[in-house]
Structure 1
Amino acid sequence: MNIKSLTIALSTTGFLLSASGPSLAASSGGDNSWGNNSNSDLKTAIKLIKDKKYSDAQPLLQKTIKADPDNADAYNMLGYSQRKLGNKDVALSYYNKALDLNPRHRGANEYLGQLYLELNKPAKAKERLEVLDKSCTFGCDEYTSLKEAIEAYEKAQ
């Protein structure tokens, strides 16, 4: 295989991997066993969050964590829903817990960066962007989204 063919193959693989992840940046990018009950609750919670029913998602996310205390995706979505409810300190703690479990968690890094922008801490948001840059070998939606948010924040200043 020549260099051009290898580059195309790798680019296609990166695109397919980024296109197949769960919505709302819930994915850690790692291995998940989506068949068990805690992940069924997580999927239902993500659907509720997509419908902006953040409070309704909370019990399902808590149930997920009770069944699977190391579920970084659930902590990330708890952080996201708490941030959307205006509970920024609570969101911060959930994002940090997700990153304690998986420091390269793409969703938690993006959403924590978004939270830092809301808290007027753009330097910290840029730190999250750097982590995403290293984690997203072929680029990823989380990197692009946070980068655009940082650019919009800076433009508004």
Structure 2
Amino acid sequence: MIRSIRGMAAVCAVASLALAPVSAMAMGSSSSDDSSSSKPAAAAKPSNYKMGVAAVEAQNWSKAIELMAAAIDDNPKNADAFNYLGYAKRKSGDYDGAIRAYNVALDLDPEHKGAHEYIGQAYLETGNMAEAEKHLKALDSICTFGCAEYSSLKDAVSKAKGTS
């Protein structure tokens, strides 16, 4: 039994040596003298958008604003990036900038639930109940069977009115 295990180990070792050049080629090495092609590829850097989302989650508003602006440069039609930019600006106290960003998100995607909720929150925080209610009504229309964004803004409007 021990001899057969040793024999299998020897066969495996020989097979691995025989296959080593093939597997190295499969991993992207090159037979040319260009040393850069034989180096392992660097790990892919996360996108500005993904790093921006992480900054929002960490409540690092200035970094989130910087990264979402870069994400928008990368993809100017990303309504989610504009929504996150608005959120970070609102949380940092830049209500005008937040409302501009939310409006761009809504121009890109008129049914963006998050943008409707957050712009409604921004309007509440700046004392503009009529605009907040306009976005609550939009969410009521978009969320046929209800949604978290509608419930959240509805609760905030009720609280602001003192009717909660």
CA distance in 2 between counterparts of 1:44 and 1:138 reads: 33
- 2:101 matches 1:111: no
Match runs of 1:118-129 below 5 Å = 118-129=125-136
Once the 2 structures are TM-superposed, how far is the Cα of residue 107 of structure 1 from its aligned partner?
0.6
Once the 2 structures are TM-superposed, how far is the Cα of residue 43 of structure 1 from its aligned partner?
2.6
CA distance in 2 between counterparts of 1:150 and 1:42 reads: 30
Aligned to 1:41: 48
The structure showing larger relative contact order (alpha-carbon pairs under 8 Å, at least 6 residues apart) is 1
CA distance in 1 between counterparts of 2:89 and 2:65 reads: 9
Instruction: Give the structure-1-normalised TM-score.
Output: 0.71
- 2:143 matches 1:143: no
Which digits, 9 at most, give the CA deviation of each residue in 1:83-120, with x for residues without a partner? 11101111111111111111111011000000110111
- 2:137 matches 1:130: yes
Which digits, 9 at most, give the CA deviation of each residue in 1:63-94, with x for residues without a partner? 21111111110001111100111011111111
Paired residue secondary structure (1:137): coil
Once the 2 structures are TM-superposed, how far is the Cα of residue 134 of structure 1 from its aligned partner?
1.0
Count of residue correspondences: 120
- 2:61 matches 1:57: no
Aligned to 1:14: none
Higher Rg:
2
Instruction: Give the structure-2-normalised TM-score.
Output: 0.68
When the two chains are superposed, the root-mean-square deviation of aligned CA atoms in Å is: 1.9
Among 58, 72, 79, the alignment partner of 2:79 is: 72
Counterpart code for 1:107: G
Counterpart code for 2:82: Y
Structure 2 portions without partners, runs of 5+: 1-43
Structure 1 portions without partners, runs of 5+: 1-36
